[in-house]
Amino acid sequence: MNSILMKMIFTILVFVFIFLTGYWLGHTGKPYAVLIFTLHKLMALGMLIFVGVTLYPVLKTAGRLQIVCTGMAALGFLFTIVSGGLLSVDKEMPALIHWLHRLLPYLTLLSSLAALYLF
């Protein structure tokens, strides 16, 4: 199996895990289960590092579409992590932040996969 395919499968599996822990957190609500919340955050951080380390070295030779997908993935990670951080504080957040953290993970996953595939 070629290495890009393996990286894409690994990315999908970790994202599935992040999604499942996220739905768990959303379903059970605050106060969040510490273990699940910690796994959710660590996996998100690990995925950011993995996708970043994979894509960064090949960016110099990238075409326009690859740069667009990588940019979308970077923005997706940024806003998903910021909205997740806001949801985890004690104050009640506006519905917009909840919706952002519901929709942006899909954008982040799809753009990360597209960027990996194009390289």
Specify the residue, 46 or 56, whose C-beta has the smaller distance to ligand HEM: 46
Token representation of residue 40: 């959710």
**Residue 41 near ligand HEM by CB under 6 A:** yes
Q: How far is the CB of 25 from ligand HEM (least distance, A)?
A: 4
**Residue 79 near ligand HEM by CB under 6 A:** no
75, 98, 110, 118: which one binds ligand HEM (CB under 6 A): 98
Sign of torsion, CA 10 85 111 72? negative
- Find the farthest-apart pair of alpha carbons in the chain and give their distance in angstroms, rounded: 47
Token representation of residue 61: 């030779």
Q: How far is the CB of 85 from ligand HEM (least distance, A)?
A: 4
Pick the closest to residue 25 from 36, 39, 14 (CA basis).
Answer: 36
The Cβ-side half-sphere exposure at 79, using a 13 Å CA radius, reads 19
**Residue 26 near ligand HEM by CB under 6 A:** yes
Q: Is 115 exposed, middle or buried (0-12, 13-18, 19+ CB in 10 A)?
A: buried
**Residue 99 near ligand HEM by CB under 6 A:** no
* Count of positions on this chain that bind ligand HEM (CB under 6 A): 24
Binding site for ligand HEM (CB under 6 A): 18-19, 22-23, 25-26, 29, 32, 40-41, 44, 47, 77, 80-81, 84-85, 87-88, 98, 101-102, 105, 108
